[in-house]
Structure 1
Amino acid sequence: MFRDKKISVLILVLLAIIVLTFSGCGSNGTGSGYDLRENLDIAWGHFAGADYSDAIDKFNEVLDNVSENAEAYLGLGWSHAFLGQLPDAVANFGLVSGQPEIVDAYMGLAAVYRDLPNYQAAISNADDVISADSSYQFSRRTSIDYRDAHLIKAQSYYRLGSSNFPEAHIEVNYLCDDLGLDPVPDPSTLEPAEYEQALVDKIAELTALISD
């Protein structure tokens, strides 16, 4: 009799383990039946379609279900950035950690800080992008790449004033070489006003070619 009871208890334990195991299947690790990957993909689909408000809602839904997720914070950062909600973009980019999301966050922060503006922070984050991957490309918006990082540096150095024109010149001529454009002449060959005009004109040309 006791043997039969032990067998019954063992069967119940095994059934409980099976139920618990299968209740977690399809949830991508959340343990609640919530499909993390599927919902992140839906959110990025909104982002790809420039439906940034819907993307924000979906990324927030993801965080409501999984609490912490670097990819969701990244999506929120970029979505807020494209809506011009720059402080919200900075806040969410700041919550991103780990590879590869962190490099995408650096790129977003570089662009946002340029526009706030905080030019030194823009330069620092653009440097982080280039240091991490000199041929960087944002997989969720492939038109954003390493050229944007160099352009942000050029724009920011120029806007910091004439003492930073040499650094702007380096970034501008890097991009000119990369894109097969005529470079800005050496400043020693031009009058100061002519040189500044040549520099600002080339930055404007590059901005039109590169900016998303």
Structure 2
Amino acid sequence: MMMNLFSSFDPSTNFTFSLNWLSTMIGLLIIPLSFWLIPSRLHMIWLKIIITLHKEFKILIGYNKTQGSTLIFISLFSFILFNNFLGLFPYIFTSTSHMVLTLTLALPLWLSFILYGWFNHTIHMFAHLVPQGTPPILMPFMVCIETISNIIRPGTLAVRLSANMIAGHLLMTLLGNTGPMLNMMMINFLIITQILLLILESAVSIIQSYVFAILSTLYSSEVN
């Protein structure tokens, strides 16, 4: 019996050791199996996605920057995408719906970008605090606003991903709990609604992993 509605998202099991967080690694175990058959359809599709992401990230980072830097963000996209999709399966813990994982991904990335920018491009980072064309009287306020917006970036990245993942799962849980109280006609309507929500959640899983990766790329491009 759940004490409250959100307890369904707690990372705990009936065992002495919590096995829920192991779902984070299942995707990493699945990936090598697809390379036994090359070129398989799955491999070709995934290769097409990686090449498309590489081109987009390269435009944002810049063609003259460090070679291979897009691989960091492609790996980040792949890792979040696998975990988002695994959470849609029954009885599999959605690790990306917890701030523990999302902050672990966002905070080191943001901190490394900030430290690299301030140590290597100090004047450039100071120039970013005051947008071009700002009136002199507004400059102190713009510095405060830009500083706050820079500080809250890892928090917004983490909250955006976890909130979007938990919202859809919560809605599906709420609708699913009403099943035993409905008649046959309403149950059919509920099943159709749940299928549509599942399709929506699949799209959200792709979009949120892309948004996380693309925003991380934009933050890294600002410090160069």
TM-score, length of structure 2 as denominator length:
0.26
Ranked by relative contact order (alpha carbons within 8 Å, sequence separation 6 or more), the top structure is 2
Q: Max radius of gyration: which structure?
A: 1
TM-score, length of structure 1 as denominator length:
0.27
